[in-house]
Amino acid sequence: MIRLSQPFIAQEEKEAIFKALEKNYLGMGEFVKSFEQDIAAYLGVEANNVVCVNTGTAALHLALQACGIKEGDEVLVPTVTYVGTFQAVSATGATPIPCDVEIDTCFIDLEDARKRLSSRTKAILPVHYAGSLCDFNQLRNFANSYNLRIIEDAAHAFGSVYLNGIKVGAIGDITCFSFDPIKNITSGQGGAIVSQDPAVISKVNNYRLLGVENESNVSYKDNRQFCFDVKEQGWRYHMSDIMAALGQAQLKKFETELKPKRMALAKYYRERLAIINGVQFLKADLEKEVLHIQPVRIEKKMREKLQLLLKKENIETGIHYRPNHFLTKYNRGFCLPVAETLYQELLSLPLHLHLTYENIDKIGEIFEAAFIDSSKLL
């Protein structure tokens, strides 16, 4: 069986978790603090600019709350994303406004987003789809023109680097990562908020621990307060030391092992499949971007056929994603034609660190056979 995605865990991770367990303090403690410092050092931001939480969805929710996004507000979101992005917006009481995407990247289409602005629009939530990076200057110009906050969903993109050599998360307003089991690095479950805005950092530090003031600092010392104040709504969204220990072990080998392996597999997919007429890749900079998923575009009828052929060979595929404006909760009664076309054409192929070049060759052969077969039928 070739899985679509899979975590990649070795002995180092198991030993790191053991160390956290041996300390006999399993909540949010010094491991979380040191994981945050490691992430900050990796990204090239100040040590206290990173706040870890228990999921990527929680990271987005808290980032939005820290911007003051609330009921009555609207947030522009590309419709092609994980439903967690939409749920994070609606969790604040605000309304996510689905926007169309660009056909060759699946990024939010700013021309379409412009049409969906209203006096209630407070933020834009771009998704760095598949791990490729949206044009940050365009986003900033757009946000500046309409006085919007930018909350980046970089759940797919940990480790991706902009053309100028800066890592995603190191510039911008607020960036959110996910460390879900199948993401570029994992802490079991987990996420992080990165921001250079001290007001945002201070708020999310409290929000992740039920709004208890200064509780993050006390927790870092494996302690808790009994006399405290709460001024705002908070949540139980903190990360545990067990998760942090796992995440730290993954981060330690990310540059030397996890990232190069993932990047090499994505490159090999291009070499192997790009020559096949009928298979289109999305735009990506494979020298700088760490792909989390490997979507390709295939004409609708052919996609169905290929999905079946791959399934027969025990090869899992996926479709990222069913556009959120198709979901009952987020449907607003308008059509987003590019996203709807992509929904019929996108097919995500296996991409994870247990995948081999031979696996990709096998997928290539199945593709070739299917396309040759179908040209004979014409």
Ligand X SMILES: *Cc1c(COP(=O)(O)O)cnc(C)c1O
Q: Which residue is nearest to ligand X (CB)?
A: 56
Residue 212: name the closest of 244, 234, 241 by CA. Answer: 234
Tell me, residue by residue from 140 to 159, as one string, x for binding to ligand X by CB under 6 A and - for no binding. Answer: -------------x-xx---
- Does position 178 bind ligand X by CB under 6 A? yes
55 binds ligand X, rule: CB under 6 A: yes
Of 57, 132, 186, 187, which one interacts with ligand X (CB under 6 A)?
A: 57
> Min. distance of Cβ 111 from ligand X in angstroms?
22
Q: Which tokens in the block code for residue 346?
A: 């996108």
- Pick from 29, 45, 56, 113: which binds ligand X (CB under 6 A)? 56
Establish if 127 lies at the interface with ligand X (CB under 6 A).
yes
Backbone φ and ψ for 242, nearest 5 degrees, come out as -65, -45
H/E element, 347: strand 346-349
Shortest separation between residue 76's beta carbon and ligand X, angstroms: 15
132 binds ligand X (CB under 6 A): no
- Between 155 and 279, CB nearer to ligand X: 155
Binding segment (CB under 6 A) for ligand X, from list 53-61, 112-120, 141-149, 360-368? 53-61
Angle 58-63-69 (CA atoms, 0-180°, nearest 5)? 110
Quick one: 81 or 160, whose CB is closer to ligand X?
Answer: 81
Does residue 105 touch ligand X according to CB under 6 A? Answer: no
Question: Is 156 or 272 the residue whose CB approaches ligand X more closely?
Answer: 156
Among the listed residues 84, 131, 159, 323, the single contact to ligand X using CB under 6 A: 84
CA 254/CA 161 separation, integer angstroms: 14
Per-residue DSSP letters for 105-136? Answer: T--B-HHHHHHT--TTEEEE--B-GGG----H
Q: 83, 63 in Cβ contact below 8 A? A: no
Minimum distance, C-beta of residue 84 to ligand X, in the bound complex (Å): 4
- The total of other beta-carbon atoms located within 10 Å of residue 47's CB is 13
Residue 85 found at the interface with ligand X (CB under 6 A): yes
DSSP state of 324: G
Give 186-205 as a DSSP string.
-SSS-EEEEES-HHHHHHHH
* Closer residue to ligand X (CB): 156 or 167: 156
Q: How many helices (H) and strands (E) does the chain have?
A: 13, 10
Q: Which is nearer to ligand X, 278 or 318 (CB)?
A: 318
The answer to whether 184 touches 192, Cβ cutoff 8 Å, is no
| Binding region for ligand X (CB under 6 A) | 55-57, 81-82, 84-85, 127, 153, 155-156, 178, 180, 191
